[in-house]
Amino acid sequence: MPTAIKTAPGNVTAQQIERCGGGYLLSNPSIGALSILHAEESLLFILLSASSGETGKLERFLIDLNYDETTAHEKTAAFLKKLDRDGWNRTTLEPPDSKPLHAAYVAITLRCNLKCPYCFQAFESRSAMDMEEAVFARITDEVKTTNPDCEIIITGGEPFLTRRIFDYLDLLDASELRFSILTNGTLITDRIARRLDAYQRLTKVQVSIDGITESTNAITRGKGSLPKILAGIHSLRNHGIPLALAPTIHSKNLHELEDLARFALSIGAEFSPNNLRLSAHDQRSDLSINDMAAYEALKELNLRLAAETSTRHSPAGKSTPDHTPSCRREPKLLCGMARTLISIDYNGDVYPCHLLAAKELKLGNIMVNRIREIIDGAEARRVRISATQISKCKTCKFVALCGGGCRAGAYYSFGSLSREDNLCDVLYRSFTDKFIGMQHAPSSVGSE
Ligand code: SF4
Ligand code: SF4
């Protein structure tokens, strides 16, 4: 005799039902539940819904359909497990409990040798703005105390412009904190790559590159920078340092994305394109792009490259974590800003994230406040907006996968953290593609 099934979903009322391929897409945004069910499962769902979660009726229904007792029991158990995975056991949709800090962006200088038009740092305020050693030491101590598994992301400006960078990296390595570096790559020599190779805790160097030809790269990164960037990339690669190439997609480099992706794959680098986010400091409207067209181009590129490389992941974009069952069981209702992620400016000022480093969003200063106190403080709670507080998102069937997208996109486009991501249409399309089985859709257009 099969053992009794003990779990039944707490809420099996679908608010939206749509045809989807050979089955049905059922969703209940109020609890973030979302399933694709085939015809037989849809009947089980209706039965369960009508019988207030009484699972015995499902087994009897399946036996009436000529399944034997054991098969009926196994099918019922598998169906209930699927509903649990898809979120139907929730009774409410609450933002997750606080989680440990997992990343801290640290701008060790605001100085830069390039002048990219979409940079989120304002150009006019960049003279002699290097981080003091005492500030960096305090950050290291504080991050280690807050969560020793947190990753420090060294950024700028251009971090290799400050001579202190290796003192700082030595300190991180000795403190056994993981760290990565975001750089424009133009200053990386063979000697620098050799020094980087000696670090145990360096996880990755991410190099910004916007084109594979001089004329395209020069549009945003400036004339003559490409040979220096490529020389830096090759030095890093020759020393076996994990690499990511990160173009910012805009209207004038979309045509070179495939060549850039192929170049990244050929040298064993990650390819991590970023969407152009309109920000307070945007200088060039001619670079703005039709985001849906960019998304479709990236999706096609992923499909082509994945077919060639026989991979289920997205070679030309980030992987698709939102598609995994565990993410669906644990709803994502807000991004990491001011929660699992913070950004620290050269002077110790702390912001919700690297894209939200606007003075009015300052959360505190690392020389005065503890990180825990900053994250738990009123300022952080004020800016941390859950998707359930965003009117468009709380009725969206993808709410528990998307979490309302990127708050920075909303803030710079609509002047409010409480709006949906300005790339909502693209996100919606990408979740439709992923959820209905398009494994190679580029992942979220957020920048976390
Ligand atoms: S941003 Fe758009 S896709 Fe994401 S939850 Fe909100 S409405 Fe849905
Ligand atoms: S999703 Fe946007 S707002 Fe949130 S942490 Fe990432 S960049 Fe910042």
Residue 233 pLDDT grade (very low, low, confident, very high; cuts 50, 70, 90): very high
What residues contact residue 323 under an 8 Å CB cut-off, 6+ apart? Answer: 434, 435, 439
Distance CA 195, CA 138 (A): 24
Q: Among the atoms of ligand 2, which is closest to the Cα of residue 405?
A: 1
Question: Which tens digit of pLDDT belongs to each residue from 97-118?
Answer: 678 999 999 999 999 999 888 8
- Per-residue pLDDT at 231: 98
Distance CA 81, CA 63 (A): 19
Neighbours of 6 (CB within 10 A): 8
Beta bridge partners of 231: none
Q: What is the mean pLDDT of the chain?
A: 87
Coil, strand or helix at 256: helix
Q: How close are the terminal C-alpha atoms of the chain, in Å? A: 50
- Per-residue pLDDT at 137: 98
Residue 447 and residue 406 in contact, taking contact as beta carbons nearer than 8 Å: yes
| Ligand 2 binding pocket, CB closer than 6 Å | 335-337, 341, 353, 355-356, 406-408, 446-448
φ/ψ bin of 95: left (φ > 0), alpha (ψ from -120 to 50), beta (otherwise): beta
Interval between CA 420 and ligand 1 midpoint (Å): 6
Interval between CA 393 and ligand 1 midpoint (Å): 5
The sign one gets for the Cα dihedral 349, 274, 432, 263 is negative
Question: Which tens digit of pLDDT belongs to each residue from 356-396?
Answer: 988 999 999 999 999 999 999 999 999 999 999 999 999 99
Name the DSSP letter for residue 337. Answer: B
Ligand 1 contacts CB of residue 322 (under 6 A): no
Question: Which tens digit of pLDDT belongs to each residue from 125-157?
Answer: 556 689 999 999 999 999 999 999 999 999 999
Q: Any idea which ligand is nearest the CA of 120?
A: 2
Vertex 92, ends 88 and 98: CA angle to 5°? 110
Give me the amino acid identity at 377: G
Distance CA 23, CA 43 (A): 11
> Region 278-306: what's the mean pLDDT?
80
